[in-house]
Amino acid sequence: MIEVSNSWIGRKLLEISGNPDALGELYEALKQPMYAVAYRIVLSREDAEDVVQDVFVSLMHISETERIKNGKAYLFQIVRNEALRRLRLRGRESACENPEIYVKHAAEAGWSDVDRAMATLSAEDRQIVAMHAEAGLTYSEIAKATASSAATVFRRYRKALGKLQKFFCVSEDSSLCEEVSYERKIQQT
């Protein structure tokens, strides 16, 4: 498997104009994490797939001289922006603007426990969790993609994990939750 580092992404972005295979390699390496982030925003499999495809089409027009310092942050910022643009064009209200849409969609679609747990988070927190846990971005990369500070991203991510843990503790065996909480307290001392 290809290591998807910023330097690898940067090289592939520079190669796109002269090497069509570079775009294909980028697509194969990043389509799934990009889809996961897009899906958390548009709440539609078809729209998320379209977002990812549109991002890669736009990359075909990237300038050879354009220098990108952080390839992952750059690409996921494009994914986020394209997903939000798609919602605006379709005149659909975003789960970012109204979290109840996300919760309603989760209930109607018969989502998994993880999806229902994610529905309890704010739109911004869902994006941060998706970018970090599902797409593997660092806090600094997420900060660049969302125009936030790394400290804010870290704080929101930790807060979101706490909410997710509470969700599973309410819906699962409470003795397990007590063990997890106890272990966390031990690790903090």
Domain assignment present for residue 1? The answer is: no
Would you place residue 170 in the very low, low, confident or very high pLDDT band (cuts 50, 70, 90)? low
Q: How remote is the C-alpha of 102 from its chain's centroid? A: 15
The CB density around residue 152, as the number of other CB atoms within 10 Å, is: 15
In this prediction the pTM is: 0.73
**Which pair of tokens denotes residue 45?**
């499999």
- The residues near 138 (Cβ < 8 Å, ≥ 6 apart) are 72, 132
182 lies in some domain: yes
pLDDT-wise least confident of 37-41, 118-122, 134-138, 161-165: 118-122
pLDDT at 75 over 50: yes
In a domain, 35, yes or no: yes
* pLDDT per position as a tens digit, 87-107: 788 775 544 455 555 555 555
Residue of 53, 48, 56 lying closest to 20 (CA atoms): 56
Q: Which domain holds residue 171?
A: 6-188
Closest CA to 2 of 21, 20, 133: 21
Over the stretch 11-65, which tens digit does the pLDDT of each residue have?
888 888 778 798 999 999 999 999 999 988 887 889 999 999 999 999 888 765 5
> Which SS3 state, helix, strand or coil, does residue 5 take?
coil
Instruction: Confirm whether 52 is domain-assigned.
Output: yes
- Domain-embedded: residue 87: yes
Does residue 33 form part of some domain? yes
For 153-169, what is the mean pLDDT? Answer: 88
pLDDT band per the 50, 70, 90 thresholds, residue 186: very low
The secondary structure of residue 133, as a DSSP letter, is I
Domains held by the chain: number: 1
| pLDDT the model gives residue 26 | 93
Q: Is residue 176 part of a domain?
A: yes
